[in-house]
Structure formats: C-alpha cells, structure tokens
Structure 1
Amino acid sequence: MSKQGVQNGKETATDKPKKHWSLGLLKSMKDPKSIYKETKKVVVIKDKYPKAKVHYLVLPRDEISSIYKLNKDHVDLLEEFGKIFEEIQTDHSNLMLCSGFHAVPSMQRLHMHIISKDMISSCLKTKIHWNSFTTKFFLPYRDVFKKLKEDGYIDKISPEAHKKFMSTPLKCNQCDFEPKNMPQLKQHLLTHCDE
C-alpha cells in the first residue's frame, strides 16, 4: 500500500525519496542545456560547479560506475574519450587543458574531467577542490588509458594516499608560489591570466 498524505482535504502521494546528489550526472546527461558535445558512445556536459574557465565532464552512455569497473573491453571507449579531449582542446585553443580522472570520484558514474589550467572560478573554494586537480589524486587520461590497455584494470589508491593528497600544502600549478591560504592562491592565479 502506498503512503498517502492529506493536503487541503485532498489525498496526495507522499514525496518520492530524493536521489542522492552523487547520482546527479545522469540527469545532466539528459539535459540539453548541460550538453556540450555528444557521440554514439559518450556525452560531454558542462560541469555544474566548474573549477576553472573551462570545465567539462566526459561520460559514457553505457552505465559504468567508475574507472575501477573498466577492463580491456573498454579500451575503445577510453580511446573515444581521448579523441573528444583533442576536439575540445581545438575548440579552446587559447587555453591549456588537462584531462583526467579523480582517484576517488565523488559522483557515481564514470567521468573524465577536461579542465583548463587557469583554475579561475568562483566555485573553486577549498583546498580539497584545489588538490583534487593539482596532485596525484588527479589521474591523467594518458596514464589511465595506457594502464587499461596494458593491464586491463586500474589500481585503486589507498585511503592513506587519498588523505595525503588532500592534505598536500597549497602550491600554484603554474609556478613555485606557495600561498598561505585559498584566497591568496586565487589572487595569485589572476596574475597568470595577464601573462
């Protein structure tokens, strides 16, 4: 029997359980306003909370939860990710882009980040945001592709390594500057935009 509520004298179905935020990529993949590019195998969406001037997510149409579910059958899919990255780099030839995967993804669907090196964004707020793209926590696409092609799987990082990467002291990704805090880093990053 479904639960019912009463509102203004009328029976109503109670609220449906809300889906966890980590499942939100699927909804964005279906939203025409979010889609930047698509092929038969992949959909590229704009990151809802971009951490740089350019920030896209490349997702497979097939349901794959993370890089740790990939095997040799997925080499062609990852090759497609690489081609998409090259196309997007051409689209944004005025910026230097990076592509890669978070070692411990927060969202429950395989996705590759394509992000510009400037890291200029109002959504870049915390040390964890910064370190998730500027330490070895960010697994470069070419390394993941090579590992998958050669070994057929991707190694998980240990909880200790995860903790270490997230607590790494702040350091500019474009020079040797070591800021004391995020506001100082963000101010410093603007100096690289003038170069």
Structure 2
Amino acid sequence: MSKRNASMLGDAYKSTKQPRHWSLGLVGSMKDPELIVKQSDRVVAIRDKYPKAKVHYLVLPQDDINSIYGLNKNHISLLEEFGDFYEELKENHDGATLRAGFHAVPSLQRLHMHVISSDMVSPCLKTKVHWNSFTTKFFIPYQDVLSELKESGSIQKISTELHKSLMSTDLQCNQCSFKPKNMPQLKEHLFTHVK
C-alpha cells in the first residue's frame, strides 16, 4: 500500500471514529495543568471551564466515581477531604462568599462538587436552568451530602417530578427579593450587588 493510500485510510478512520461525549469532559479537564489549582492522591480541584460566577471551582475524586449516588460509607473520608479543599479555597478568596455543593442530577459524569461564589456574575450564566441549578434545592450543600452519607451510607435520589419542578422555578435574585422577568434582566440586576 502506498503512503498516500495509507494516509487516506488513516484519515477515513479518524473521520468515522466517534468523538468522546461532552458529559465525559471533566475527566480530561482534571488532568489539564492549566485548570488544576490543587491536588492530592485522592482529590483534585480545578477551575470550571464555563464558570457560572466570578469564582467557580470543581472538586473531584481521582477515582472513577460517577456521582453522589455512587458514594457509600467507604467514601466518608474522601468527602471530608473535599471539605478540606473547600476550606482552603475559601481562604484563597477572602471577601467572597463561597458555597460548596452538588447538583442533584449532574449533567457531567465523574463526581464533582461545585465551589462557587454567590455573586453569580458570569457570561457563561445564560439560562434559567443554569440559574436554578445553583439557586434552588437542586444544589445540595456539601454538608448535607456528607451528613446523609454518614447517617444512611448512601445518597437518596430526587424524583423526576421534583427535578422538573426545581428547573422550572420562577427566577428570583439569590441576594434580595427581586423577581426578574427574564435572564437578561436578572443578569443586569446582579451587578447591583457587586461591590
């Protein structure tokens, strides 16, 4: 076979090869030295590539755990290390109010805890679903997940009905009682809270 034919065959193979699904993107991101802010043998903290606030990190396990629903009592010390990372990230952002938590139905595979500032000012915050995933009970606080894991040995899934209800919750500012008509109005309003 000529080099040209071999090259064409290689190109044909590349074009038919399926790309990795976007939901697996965190696995690559957690190995990217440009994104890593801290890591240990068991845990890595990275900058979110599409931050939904001025400060937005993800804390992930080095082990392949799909989501909070893959956790059991053997993972308590791992989750406590997530908390240690959260505390250290808070120290690095004195003056910012940071929250840590998990999405009840994560869109990305690989367990990940969000550490996010309450300002919610970001060009990547675009939709009502983005907003509601961080400002309703869909965002399960870190301490609640750790407590449930210690008490029950697992995390209870939310119902499909509750998921839909939380995603369709009316918009409301997370810092005051303002109820905007749409996302552009909310995003403009959020700047009034920026110091």
Q: Structures share a fold, TM > 0.5?
A: yes
C-alpha distance in structure 2 between counterparts of 1:129 and 1:9, whole Å:
44
Q: Which moved further from structure 2: 39-48 or 109-118?
A: 39-48
Deviations 1:38-67 (A, max 9, x none): 111101111110000000000000110000
Distance 1:9 1:129, change over 3 A: closer
Task: Compare the two structures and name the one with the higher helix fraction.
Answer: 2
Partner of 1:165: 166
**Is residue 94 of structure 1 aligned with residue 95 of structure 2?**
yes
Deviations 1:56-80 (A, max 9, x none): 0000001100000100000000000
> Which residue identity is paired with 1:70?
L
Partner of 2:76: 75
Distance 1:9 1:136, change over 3 A: closer
C-alpha distance in structure 1 between counterparts of 2:42 and 2:6, whole Å:
48
Task: Compare the two structures and name the one with the higher strand fraction.
Answer: 1
Distance 1:193 1:7, change over 3 A: farther
What 5-or-longer segments of structure 1 have no aligned partner? 1-5
The 5-angstrom pairing of residues 12-27 of structure 1 reads: 12=10, 14-15=13-14, 16-27=17-28
Offset, 1:10:
4.0
Partner of 1:56: 57
C-alpha distance in structure 2 between counterparts of 1:152 and 1:173, whole Å:
32
Offset, 1:7:
6.7
Give the TM-score normalised by structure 1.
Answer: 0.94
> Which residue identity is paired with 2:9?
E
The 5-angstrom pairing of residues 67-146 of structure 1 reads: 67-146=68-147
RMSD: 1.4
> Which residue identity is paired with 1:129?
H
| Percent of residue pairs bearing the same amino acid type | 63
Give the TM-score normalised by structure 2.
Answer: 0.94
Partner of 1:3: none
